[in-house]
Homo-oligomer: A and B are copies of this chain.
Amino acid sequence: MPKQATTEKTGRQRRERGSISAEEIINGAFEVARRDTLDKLSMPELAKHLDVGVTSIYWYFRKKEDLLNAMTDEAIRVVFEQLLPVEKSDWKSYLRKHFAKTREIYRSDHVLCDLGMVRFGTYSKEAVHQVFKVMEDILEMLIETGFTPDSALDVYESMSIYTRGSILIERIQLSAKAPTIDSQRQGRLIDPVDMPRLAELIKTRSLSMVTDDDYEAGVSHLMTGFEAVLRADKRARKAVQA
Taking beta carbons and an 8 Å cutoff, which residues of A are in contact with B? 65, 118-123, 125, 128-129, 132-133, 135-136, 139-140, 143, 149-150, 152-155, 157-158, 160-166, 168-169, 172-178, 180-181, 186, 189-190, 194-198, 200-201, 205, 207, 209, 214-215, 217-218, 220-226, 228-229
* Contact of B161 with A166 in the complex, beta carbons under 8 Å: yes
Residue numbers in B under 8 Å from A175 (CB-CB): 121
Let me know if B221 and A153 touch, CB within 8 A: no
Q: Closest residue to A124 on the B side, CB-wise?
A: B178
Closest to A229 in B: B221
Residues of B with C-beta under 8 A to A181 = 123, 128
One of B120, B164, B176, B196 near A165 (C-beta < 8 A): B164
Q: Tell me the nearest residue of chain B to A65, going by C-beta.
A: B177
Which B residues are in CB contact (< 8 Å) with A214?
A: 154, 157, 161
Quick one: which of A119, A149, A177, A223 has the most chain B CB within 10 A? A149
Q: Which residue of B lies closest to A174 (CB)?
A: B121
> Would A189 and B125 count as touching, CB distance under 8 A?
yes
Q: What is the distance, in angstroms, from A96's C-beta to the closest C-beta of chain B? A: 14
- The answer to whether A197 touches B157 (Cβ under 8 A) is no
A155 CB to nearest chain B CB (Å): 8
Q: Which residues of B contact A161 (CB under 8 A)?
A: 162, 165-166, 169, 209, 214-215, 218
Residues of B contacting A221 in the complex (Cβ-Cβ under 8 angstroms):
154-155, 158, 221-222, 224-226, 229
CA distance A164 to B168 in the complex (A): 9
Contact A129 B205 (CB under 8 A): no
Asked if B132 and A190 sit within 8 Å, CB to CB, the answer is: yes
Contacts known (A121-B176, A121-B180, A178-B122); A197 close to B162, Cβ less than 8 A:
no
- If the complex has contacts A121-B175, A122-B178, A225-B220, are A132 and B189 also in contact, measured as CB distance less than 8 A? yes
Closest B-chain residue to A125, C-beta based? B189
